Amino acid sequence: MTTSGDGDTIATTDIPTDDQTTAPATTNRKQPFPQGFLDTISTGWAVRPESAPPQREQAAYAAARREVVSASFPGRRLVVPAGEAKVRSNDTDYPFRAHSAFAHLTGWAADAEPGAVLVFEPTGETGHTATLYFRERADRTTAEFYGDAAIGEFWIGPRPALDGVAADLGLSTAHNDDFEVSDDDLVVEVDDDLSRFVSELRLVKDEYEIAQMRLAVDVTARGFDDIVAELPRIIDHPRGERVVEGVFHTRARSDGNAEGYSTIAASGPHACYLHWTRNDGAVLPGDLILVDAGVEVDSLYTADVTRTLPVSGRFSDTQRKVYEAVREAADAAFAAARPGVRFRTVHETAMEVIARKVAEWGLLPVTAEEALDADAGGQHRRYMVHGTSHHLGIDVHDCAAARREMYYDGVLEAGMVFTIEPGLYFQIDDLTVPEEFRGIGVRIEDDILMTADGPENLSAAIPRTADEVEAWIARSR
């Protein structure tokens, strides 16, 4: 069963075939097509001009990635599906997003078709030919054109043609009907070796990917500016967190594809919940609001930035103390990140600062050194349970299937993009901290590009220090 944007439902069994002139009404909303409609629907259409599009910028980069994959799996047939649309409720779907490995290896991103499949056919002991299979658009003489709400052009607009996509992506294309999968194929998300390889392939970004990351961060910065500018309206609304989410969503959709993940708009005690996405609370003067948000651009690359803002425009003394401690941890982690340094060193460095700060404030039953003991310590982790960094790219938590020795225990290289995001979170009912700390949650998250000369903070233009944040809010007013 499929549906259109206006809610009309058409059962797939009701679509007229070449030998059908009417369709039985088998649902309480489906109406049969009258004979006059069937006789005339295929006529009276202007000829659609067709021209091959220029090859898109990322096509050459995707081709180079496919060459690396091909060389690593000689003689094996490799299958990389885009995936199918997923049901949201009954006969409505979530917005479709192609599988990250598929987009990375084809260059087909926000405009990819559900059900598409990239296949590497071995040409012998070495080498492959790559073919992109997807459902060719139906012309206006077919019942699919007007009768299938899932794929019919009358319902969802024009679908791409095989020849056009081939020119656009620099890839051979064929209809899905010509694709067959066998038990011997290596399939992404099924075969561990292939899934791991395509994930590790993204650990080091190429020039195109880095440019897309810069773009995603730039649009995200504008989204944060929008939130700061809208603080009066946000404060006035009883569910101000929802307004924050909506303001950022407007920027993400207008200047990008969408958000790269569900926006966290966590005000007051909600900021202590690490993945607060309910976003149904008020935003009150005197509180802090933690906003963790990132724009996914049309190439599907996403930023991931967090800023913590004083709603009234100025930090209290305790809020400022916590905020600047987190910033000190972030700055120390940034200073420790260098080519050749192990990725986990970034986290370890940030945690040294966190442990020292909470020990200075008398919040630990042990010394900072004892808390940092790898086996017997960890008391400081009560206030920062998450990791400090993760790889970032076409997924917000990119390269997640990579081996530990390539990821957490791996060595930083030029071209890697990752976050630095320490935090401190004092739950509203945590009796181990003084009352003035309770309900304060702070995270500062930046997106870092490793270069041959050291780290570059891609999101540094978004105010970071307590003084900068206060000035940012003041300027908006």
Q: What is the pLDDT of residue 4?
A: 38
- Domain boundary residue among 180, 200, 220? 200
Q: What angle do CA 28, 34, 39 make, to 5 degrees?
A: 145
Q: What is the pLDDT of residue 20?
A: 39
Find the domain containing 386 and state its range: 207-476
| pLDDT tens digit sequence for 408-436 | 999 999 999 999 999 999 999 999 999 99
Do 313 and 165 belong to one domain? no
Q: What's the structural domain count of the chain?
A: 2
DSSP-assigned states of every residue in 66-126: HHHHHHHSTT--EEEE-----EEETTEEPPP---HHHHHHH---TTPPTT-EEEEEE-SSS
Distance CA 299, CA 212 (A): 7
- Is 243 within the bounds of a domain? yes
Do 331 and 393 belong to one domain? yes
Do 70 and 196 belong to one domain? yes
| pLDDT tens digit sequence for 309-327 | 999 999 999 999 999 999 9
> What's 378's domain CATH number?
3.90.230.10
> What's 69's domain CATH number?
3.40.350.10
Q: What is the pLDDT of residue 34?
A: 94
Q: What is the pLDDT of residue 113?
A: 96
Q: What is the pLDDT of residue 28?
A: 65
Phi, psi of 292 (to 5 degrees): -115, 110
Place of tokens 């094996």: 76
Do 275 and 301 belong to one domain? yes
Do 72 and 219 belong to one domain? no
Q: Which of 316, 225, 289, 269 is nearest to 439 (CA)?
A: 269
Q: What is the pLDDT of residue 287?
A: 98
Q: Which of 420, 368, 352 is nearest to 390 (CA)?
A: 420
pLDDT tens for the chain, 477 residues: list them.
333 334 333 333 333 433 433 444 456 667 789 999 999 999 999 988 888 889 999 999 999 999 999 999 999 999 999 999 999 998 899 999 999 999 999 999 999 999 999 999 999 888 999 999 999 888 888 999 998 888 899 899 988 999 999 999 999 999 999 999 999 999 998 999 999 999 999 999 999 999 999 999 999 999 999 999 999 999 999 999 999 999 999 999 999 999 999 999 999 999 999 999 999 999 999 999 999 999 999 999 999 999 999 999 999 999 999 999 999 999 999 999 999 999 999 999 999 999 999 999 999 999 999 999 999 999 999 999 999 999 999 999 999 999 999 999 999 999 999 999 999 999 999 999 999 999 999 999 999 999 999 999 999 999 999 999 999 999 998
| pLDDT tens digit sequence for 179-211 | 999 999 999 989 999 999 999 999 999 999 999
